[in-house]
Amino acid sequence: MGRPKKNPTASGGYVSKKIQSLPGSTDIITSADALWDILLKRLSRTARAYGFNRVESPLLEESRLFESAGAFNPGQAVAISDQAYGRPVVLRPALLPSVLRAYVQQKIYETSPVSKWWYSGFTVAQKEKSQAASDFNFGFEVFGTFTHLTEAQLISGVWELFQSLGLKDLALEINSIGEEACQRVYEEALAGYLSGKKYELCDACSEHLKGRVLNVLRCENLDCQALTAEAPTILDYLDPKSHKHFTNILEALDEMGIPYQLNHLYSGPEGHSRTNFVIKQKTKTGSLVLGEGGYHDGVIQNICGKNFCSFGFYGSLQKVYDLLTASRVTVSREQSSEVFLVPLGELASKKALRLFRDLISSKISVYDHFGDAGVKNQLKAAQTFKAPIALIMGQKEAMDEMVILRDVKSGMQEVISYDKIVEEVKKRLGK
């Protein structure tokens, strides 16, 4: 009998039976990748510690959402057939516009004066005409009525997150571009300063002079940066209210001991106002932007036609992952379980199911393996998952209603009756 033929396609070619992920996409498997495991856990832990609630947004959105979002629309959203929805639909190229839309659409402002949200997930954008690439974004956003102290607290949380990941040579740059009225006056002054230098600017910056002049300050072209180095600063154009607000922010950061650099030429993307900040990682060739933050009132206005106060930060966890990987940072897996359950044999596994339930009911995190792995392999796995306690149950222990409690680090173990094991575990864990 000959080798089976591969399935032919309609075009007469062949389809490989080996299905792989699409080019530019990423699989995140935390059990196999300790770095991703740590990144996601630290993000979640920081969010909880600072009182942010998780929100999820759809993978598909109406294309108008990102067209209205201005700078938050990469301009390369991957279109999906509109037949199923009756309108143009795209895969989300960014998360923030969806989060802002959800806040207004669900009328959260009617039931909560202040909302603190955090989000994360994959985004997809067209990088080249023939290929798309995914990213893993995250962010924190505060909506409603809040003060400069909440702003400073959010900045502190983001800074603490990056610090906890072991990143070196981080820089937090901060500035204020004031309200829209301040920006208009400043843009006139900046345009006047650049008018005699417009032929020395890159093509993109020449176009910015006809639109949002502040975008010239965001150009990464070294020649353009040299031309704007002596440009007037927007801090000289802030009204008293904006100036006082920014001073309060800086004083709050000083109080918390958060290091920052005042960058009077930094301006956020279109739709930003007032406080703007960026976190960069210094590299041998310059710096890498890990994320940006600021007020997003203008973005909400463009998306929903309504004015709501919101302040937040958005960044790329994929960039952080790539940076740590390139730096060959050694990471060790954090403790993911307090108890590692080691049942040996069918009878012990059945008894261990009840023990698993009893431990979970007592708020004790458990890693279990109801498989055929031997005791040595399972105890080795317990060390990998950083569980301080292993509970071993073989056939004899199951029949006698006993459990072997083993200290994973020291290797010391003792036999304890089933009816006392949960309380003993809680005692060892300090619960």
The pLDDT of residue 385: 63
| pLDDT higher than 90, residue 69 | no
- Cα separation of 125 and 318, whole Å? 14
Higher pLDDT, 316 or 374: 316
All CATH 3.30.930.10 domain ranges in the chain, comma separated: 34-166+289-326
Spatial contact of 380 and 420, defined as CB atoms under 8 Å apart: no
Give 101: exposed, middle or buried? Use CB within 10 Å, 0-12, 13-18, 19+: buried
The pLDDT of residue 379: 64
Token duo for residue 427: 């005692």
All CATH 3.40.50.800 domain ranges in the chain, comma separated: 339-429
Could you confirm whether domain 339-429 is CATH 3.40.50.880?
Answer: no
The pLDDT of residue 173: 94
The pLDDT of residue 373: 53
| pLDDT higher than 70, residue 87 | yes
| Phi–psi pair at 374, nearest 5 degrees | -70, 170
The pLDDT of residue 332: 63
- Cα separation of 115 and 393, whole Å? 47
| pLDDT higher than 70, residue 384 | no
Query: Residue 352 carries which side chain, given as an amino acid letter?
Result: A
Q: What is the pLDDT of residues 122-176, one digit of tens each?
A: 988 776 666 777 889 999 999 999 889 999 999 999 999 998 888 888 999 999 9
Q: What is the pLDDT of residues 209-239, one digit of tens each?
A: 888 888 888 888 888 888 888 888 888 889 8
- Cα separation of 391 and 405, whole Å? 5
| pLDDT higher than 80, residue 369 | no
Look at the domain 34-166+289-326 and name its fold. BirA Bifunctional Protein; domain 2 (3.30.930)
The model's pTM: 0.79
Q: What is the pLDDT of residues 236-292, one digit of tens each?
A: 889 899 999 999 999 999 998 999 999 988 888 888 889 999 999 887 777 889 999
pLDDT average, residue stretch 44-52: 92
pLDDT band at 106, cuts 50/70/90? very high
